[in-house]
């Protein structure tokens, strides 16, 4: 059988093809407490002004600023305290001349008051106090509507719900939140050499590390995962398993079997399910055989069996695809510049991704490869929080050079492709 000729496409082009598919998850609503990590499917508007009323940002006394005019150390102005309110209470009194209300942080200013004197700025004596400086109108007052007014768009469709967004939704009383569904993920590790974690090693066999790793990556990303049992390199049963996974999940991720070996059945499996292959060769190392296909409005990710390549494929293609299909406005990997801290002398015929550890300090970002870094490496993945990205057609990066780095632990995305 002749080996199929594959044409590598640049990494950027591959990511672009993935995130421009007309594949989206459905809109739904979830309870506020279940909304973390979802993408908003609608703009969220302020349902009232915040603050809702002029309020005190301090513990102190609410006064009429005009009564403080002309105060200075030799001419202290005296006020009489006519009421006392904590946060949540509203005074029924209206301030007259030289009157004040003792008021706590968060409480609504009483009628007539337009300034707050902090306790520290007063000398108290029974139910009176004096001050030694004049106050301007609205000094020490949180003004009604100063943060948002009714109808303001406070959260945008397409943004991820983070803890701050939860606070905003709670503020405005959104018990139900309009979001897109998170895709469900099927993971199928393929390879007749694979054993389960609990199995004894046998000659020629290795343990399946990709399955558990991809499951962890997906779960860390907030996705529901079904990890299928290890799939032997057998065409017919592989087709059946992939069909089953497609019928019950939004995304199917396989690892292994994407290359041109005699038992690499992924290309044939994709044919059998009528998949359109977006690409099957990417100008990158590791993972050049990474394949992404679309069938039945679903993504099929054929990640390489080599653990480092598998990890890289998930970061570069699966995460952006998931962001895209959930309607996120930002789905491109976050790329930062960092100073390389050791020489990397290997040539880079293709764009090279190196599992690495990035550190940040006041003097900037630095990065080092996180260990033995061939495509089959596992341990370096565990010690990485980033991937160094070296452009193709280069060689001889030295300590001190500035390199591009993708942060892999943060799950923060960009609206523009910067890699
Ligand atoms: P393949 O992509 O099937 O050609 O596999 C490439 C390399 O990755 C081979 O050395 C496989 O033994 C290894 N490999 C494949 N699948 C896994 C897996 N699930 N866990 C760990 N290593 C794997
Ligand atoms: Mg294989």
Nearest CA, atom 17, ligand 1 = 305
Question: Which 8-state DSSP code applies to residue 94?
Answer: B
In angstroms, what is the span from residue 231 Cα to ligand 1's centroid?
12
How far is residue 214's CA from residue 212's CA, in Å, rounded to a whole number? 6
Instruction: Supply the pLDDT for residue 374.
Output: 87
Q: Which ligand is nearest to the CA of 206?
A: 1
Tell me, what's the pLDDT at 5? 79
Q: With residue 324 as reference, give the H or E element that holds it.
A: helix 319-325
Mutation pick for ligand 1 pocket among 286, 305, 377 (CB with most ligand atoms within 8 Å) = 305
Q: Which pairing describes strands 413-414 and 251-255: parallel, antiparallel, or unpaired?
A: unpaired
Measure the CA–CA gap between 30 and 301, rounded to whole angstroms.
Answer: 28
Neighbouring C-alpha atoms within 13 Å toward the C-beta of 298: 24
Closest CA to 274 of 308, 246, 306, 305: 246
Closest Cα partner for 319 from 196, 414, 178?
Answer: 414
Other C-beta atoms within 10 Å of 216: how many?
11
Cβ atoms of 406 and 419 within 8 Å: the answer is yes
Is the beta carbon of 253 within 6 A of some atom in ligand 1?
A: no
Q: Are the beta carbons of 217 and 258 closer than 8 angstroms? A: no
Question: How many angstroms does the Cα of residue 305 sit away from the middle of ligand 2?
Answer: 6
Per-residue pLDDT for the chain (419 aa), expressed as one digit of tens each?
A: 556 778 899 999 999 999 999 999 999 999 999 999 999 999 999 999 999 999 999 999 999 999 999 999 999 999 999 999 999 999 999 999 999 999 999 999 999 999 999 999 999 999 999 999 999 999 999 999 999 999 999 999 999 999 999 999 999 999 999 999 999 999 999 999 999 999 999 999 999 999 999 999 999 999 999 999 999 999 999 999 999 999 999 999 999 999 989 999 999 999 999 999 999 999 999 999 999 999 999 999 999 999 999 999 999 999 999 999 999 999 999 999 999 999 999 999 999 999 999 999 998 999 999 999 889 999 999 999 999 999 999 998 999 999 999 999 988 899 999 88
Pairing of strands 194-195, 206-207: parallel
Q: At a CB cut-off of 8 Å and minimum separation 6, what does 46 contact?
A: 148, 149, 150, 151, 152, 154, 172
Q: Is the CB of 257 under 6 A from ligand 1?
A: yes
Measured from the alpha carbon of residue 196, the closest ligand is: 1
pTM: 0.93
CB 253 within 8 A of CB 318: yes
Ligand 1 pocket member 210 (CB < 6 A): yes
Long-range own/partner contacts, residues 376-382 (CB < 8 A, 24 or more apart): 376/306, 376/307, 376/308, 377/307, 377/308, 378/209, 378/307, 378/308, 380/308, 380/355, 381/213, 381/307, 381/308, 381/311, 381/355
Q: Which of 187, 188, 190, 191 to mutate to test the pocket of ligand 1 (most atoms within 8 A of CB)?
A: 191
- Residue at token pair 């603050």: 51
Whose structure tokens read 């005074």?
91
pLDDT for res 3: 64
**Which domains are delineated in the chain?**
11-25+182-326 (3.40.980.10), 30-47+155-180 (3.90.105.10), 55-131 (2.170.190.11), 335-407 (2.40.340.10)
Cα(264) to centroid of ligand 2, in Å?
A: 6
Residues in the chain: 419
């Amino acid at each position: 059988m002749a080996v199929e000729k594959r044409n590598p496409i640049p990494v950027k082009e591959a990511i672009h093809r993935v995130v421009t598919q007309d594949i989206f998850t459905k809109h739904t609503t979830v309870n506020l407490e279940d909304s973390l990590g979802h993408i908003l499917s609608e703009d969220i508007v302020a349902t009232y002004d915040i603050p809702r009323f002029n309020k005190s940002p301090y513990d102190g006394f609410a006064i009429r600023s005009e009564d403080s005019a002309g105060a200075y150390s030799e001419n202290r102005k005296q006020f009489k305290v006519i009421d006392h309110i904590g946060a949540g209470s509203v005074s029924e009194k209206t301030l007259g001349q030289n009157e004040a209300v003792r008021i706590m942080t968060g409480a609504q200013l009483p009628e007539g008051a337009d300034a707050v004197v902090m306790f520290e700025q007063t000398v108290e004596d029974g139910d009176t106090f004096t001050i030694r400086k004049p106050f301007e109108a609205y000094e020490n007052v949180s003004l009604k509507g100063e943060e948002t007014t009714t109808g303001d768009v406070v959260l945008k469709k397409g943004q991820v719900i983070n803890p701050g967004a939860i606070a905003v939704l709670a503020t405005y009383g959104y018990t139900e939140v309009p979001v897109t569904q998170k895709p469900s993920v099927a993971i199928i590790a393929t390879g007749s050499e694979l054993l389960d974690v609990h199995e004894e090693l046998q000659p020629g066999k290795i343990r399946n590390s990709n399955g558990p790793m991809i499951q962890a990556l997906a779960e860390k990303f907030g996705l529901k995962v079904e990890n299928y049992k290890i799939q032997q390199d057998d065409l017919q049963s592989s087709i059946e398993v992939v069909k089953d996974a497609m019928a019950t999940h939004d995304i199917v991720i396989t690892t292994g079997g994407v290359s041109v070996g005699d038992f690499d059945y992924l290309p044939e499996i994709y044919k059998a399910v009528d998949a359109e292959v977006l690409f099957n060769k990417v100008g990158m190392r590791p993972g050049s055989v990474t394949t992404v296909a679309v069938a039945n409005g679903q993504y099929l990710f054929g990640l390489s069996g080599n653990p480092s390549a598998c990890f890289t494929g998930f970061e570069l293609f699966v995460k952006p695809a998931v962001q895209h299909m959930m309607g996120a406005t930002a789905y491109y990997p976050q790329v930062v510049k960092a100073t390389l801290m050791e020489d990397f002398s290997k040539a880079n015929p293709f764009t090279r991704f190196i599992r690495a550890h990035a550190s940040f300090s006041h003097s900037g970002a630095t990065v080092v490869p996180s260990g033995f870094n061939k495509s089959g490496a596992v341990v370096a993945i565990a010690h990485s929080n980033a991937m160094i990205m070296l452009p193709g057609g280069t060689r001889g990066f030295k300590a001190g050079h500035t390199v591009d780095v993708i942060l892999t632990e943060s799950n923060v995305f960009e609206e523009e492709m910067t890699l």
